[in-house]
């Protein structure tokens, strides 16, 4: 029913940047080596990975792959941020997840049947290494632990997708926004100077995309932010967010108090 490759914005590739890596990236010394799924591989396998991978720079708004495209490789993010959108036949879309340094994109399509079911758009300039299907296939056969690692990862995604579904149907936009801010702060937040839970964060995404992460409209998001600001929970200035008291945000999530 929900038909692929439709409603996908035609931004396709503004200036498809050349495949010249920022510098000769090396998997053996990659800063993300211990974060990626690849971390369990033996040095020998990593050396093969290093030979297989094709590094490349991607500017903001570049579409790495689009929903409906045939699978063409794994993308290991060395730096930057990539948003993955799922879009329906009428063009409505939600931001399903953010990919950041150390994560690998595109394995869902590899394992599920060879067609991407999300559109990956770069939102903060990124360098990524493309990994071929042949390499993945070969390494899966040789290193059972890699399959195991992907099994855990996919199972974890199923769990979090189910939680997202429940949040979507049971929680208000305001509460969902608080959830989202708290989880973004874990990754993008900087502890502030003041005493109690003062946190500052540079939002990685624009409002429009933040709304898409909540499964709501930009108008509603703007209103909800205004409301939160009026209550003194947060201060927004463009993409800069200040949370004076993290505890107060957490209290939003617990309907029952003392």
Give the interface with a second copy as residue ranges (CB under 8 A).
Answer: 1-2, 86-88, 90, 92-94, 96, 107-113, 117-118, 140-141, 144, 147-148, 150-152, 154-159, 161-170, 179, 215-216, 253, 255
Which contacts qualify for 230-236: CB closer than 8 Å, 24 or more apart? Answer: 233/178, 234/181
User: Whose Cβ is closer to a second copy: residue 104's or residue 216's?
Assistant: 216
Residue 2 interacting partner from a second copy, DNA, none (CB closer than 5 to 8 Å by kind):
a second copy
State the minimum distance, in angstroms, from the CB of residue 129 to DNA. Answer: 25
Could you say whether residue 235 binds DNA (CB under 7 A)?
no
Residue 220 interacting partner from a second copy, DNA, none (CB closer than 5 to 8 Å by kind):
DNA
Convert 109-138 to b/e letters by CB count within 10 Å (16 or more is b): bbeeeeebbbbbbbbbbbbbbbbeeebbee
Going edge to edge, which strands form the sheet with 199-202?
A: 189-191, 199-202, 240-243, 235-237
Could you say whether residue 47 binds DNA (CB under 7 A)?
no
User: Whose Cβ is closer to a second copy: residue 113's or residue 238's?
Assistant: 113
State the minimum distance, in angstroms, from the CB of residue 13 to a second copy. Answer: 24
Question: Binding marks (x or -) toward DNA, 199..218, rule CB under 7 A?
Answer: -------xxx------xxxx
Could you say whether residue 221 binds DNA (CB under 7 A)?
yes
Residue 219 interacting partner from a second copy, DNA, none (CB closer than 5 to 8 Å by kind):
DNA
* Spatial separation of the C-alpha atoms in residues 241 and 236, rounded to whole Å: 5
* Spatial separation of the C-alpha atoms in residues 18 and 179, rounded to whole Å: 39
* 33 Cβ neighbours under 8 A, 6+ residues apart: 27, 39, 46
Cα angle 245, 249, 251; round to 5: 110
User: Whose Cβ is closer to a second copy: residue 81's or residue 108's?
Assistant: 108
User: Whose Cβ is closer to a second copy: residue 48's or residue 154's?
Assistant: 154
User: Whose Cβ is closer to DNA: residue 92's or residue 247's?
Assistant: 92
User: Whose Cβ is closer to DNA: residue 129's or residue 221's?
Assistant: 221
- 44, with CB counted inside 10 A (0-12, 13-18, 19+), is exposed
State the minimum distance, in angstroms, from the CB of residue 129 to a second copy. Answer: 21
Among 2, 14, 145, 162, binds DNA (CB under 7 A): 14
Q: What share of the chain is helix, strand, coil (3-state, %, to 5)?
A: 40, 25, 35
* Spatial separation of the C-alpha atoms in residues 258 and 7, rounded to whole Å: 48
- Rule CB under 7 A: which residues touch DNA? 14, 169, 172-174, 206-208, 215-226, 236, 238
């Amino acid at each position: 029913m929900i038909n692929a490759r439709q409603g996908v914005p035609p931004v396709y590739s503004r200036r498809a940047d050349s495949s010249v890596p920022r510098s000769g990236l090396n998997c053996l010394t990659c800063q993300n080596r211990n974060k990626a799924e690849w971390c369990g591989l033996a040095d020998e396998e990593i050396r093969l990975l290093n030979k297989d991978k094709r590094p490349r720079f991607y500017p903001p708004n570049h579409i790495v792959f689009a929903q409906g495209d045939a699978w063409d490789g794994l993308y290991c993010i060395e730096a930057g941020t990539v948003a993955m959108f799922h879009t329906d036949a009428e063009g409505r879309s939600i931001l399903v997840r953010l990919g950041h340094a150390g994560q690998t994109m595109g394995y869902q399509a590899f394992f599920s049947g060879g067609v991407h079911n999300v559109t990956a758009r770069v939102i903060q300039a990124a360098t990524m290494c493309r990994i071929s299907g042949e390499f993945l296939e070969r390494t899966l056969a040789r290193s059972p632990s890699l399959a195991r690692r992907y099994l855990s990862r996919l199972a974890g995604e199923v769990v979090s997708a189910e939680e997202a579904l429940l949040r979507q149907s049971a929680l208000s936009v305001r509460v969902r926004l608080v959830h989202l801010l708290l989880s973004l702060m874990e990754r993008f937040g900087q502890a502030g100077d003041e005493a109690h839970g003062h946190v500052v964060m540079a939002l990685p995404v624009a409002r429009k995309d933040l709304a898409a992460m909540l499964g709501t409209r930009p108008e509603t998001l703007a209103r909800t932010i205004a409301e939160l600001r009026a209550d003194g929970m947060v201060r927004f200035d463009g993409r800069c967010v200040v949370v004076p008291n993290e505890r107060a945000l957490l209290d939003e999530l617990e309907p029952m108090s003392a």
